[in-house]
Amino acid sequence: MSKKMLGDLMRQAQKLQEEMQKTQEEAKKKTAEATSGGGMVTVVASGSGELVSIKIEKEVVNPEDVDMLQDLIIAAANEAIRRAQAMVNDEMAKITGGLQIPGMGGLGGNIFGR
């Protein structure tokens, strides 16, 4: 491989890395929402995988059945995080064409580190 080709490849890799970092930063500002219990529990997660909010309808709060409420919260939180992760992976796949990049995880880069 010639020096020119190697230089061009390095520039393309650097540009791809910059685009991926920009996309990751933008994704952190986006959110994904999920519900459980027929909408009784709503959880919003950010593109960085952090929970942003949890809304619990009064009707689902039963001191005699705390386990059910906990299960609903976990279900909604896990789904919100999965949706946020999928959103980020979809954005990254647009940049990388779905190419698996070593060390980045997921589809072309997964900021969740999974």
Looking at per-residue pLDDT, the higher value among 37 and 2 belongs to: 37
Name every residue whose Cβ is closer than 8 Å to that of residue 99 and which is 6 or more positions away in sequence.
108
Question: Which H, E and C letters describe 39-108, residue by residue?
Answer: CCEEEEEECCCCEEEEEECHHHCCHHHHHHHHHHHHHHHHHHHHHHHHHHHHHHHHHHCCCCCCCCCCCC
Domain spans of the chain, in order of start: 3-96
Between 114 and 67, the higher pLDDT residue: 67
Band of pLDDT at residue 15, cut at 50, 70 and 90:
confident
Phi, psi of 72 (to 5 degrees): -65, -40
The second-level CATH assignment, the architecture, of 3-96 is 2-Layer Sandwich (3.30)
Q: Give residue-wise pLDDT tens across range 36-94.
A: 999 999 999 999 889 999 999 999 999 999 999 999 999 999 999 999 999 988 888 88
Q: pTM of this prediction?
A: 0.72
